[in-house]
Amino acid sequence: MTATTFWSADGRPMPAAQFLEVLYGVLPEFFKDEDDLRRIWSAPDTRKELLIGLADKGFGKEPLAEMQ
């Protein structure tokens, strides 16, 4: 059995379910709907900005890959 710990932006541990709840809570800050997300994701420069913004909020590459 394996347990994965996720960390909040302020450095506190949180369970995976809470990580997802917080992630879903901040996503509207980055795009307004699915079409907007597709537009952002389709261009490498705006995709990079999105990923940097998510990382700044505590959702970096490693935690997102672990959640996947």
Could you tell me how many helices (H) and strands (E) the chain has, helices first? 4, 2
**8 Å CB contact between 56 and 49:** no
Higher-confidence residue of 1 and 20: namely 20
Q: What is the pLDDT of residue 9?
A: 76
The per-residue pLDDT for 12 is: 87
The predicted structure's pLDDT at residue 30: 95
Q: What is the pLDDT of residues 20-58, one digit of tens each?
A: 999 999 999 999 999 999 999 999 999 999 999 999 998
pTM here is 0.79
C-alpha 41/C-alpha 43 separation (Å) is 6
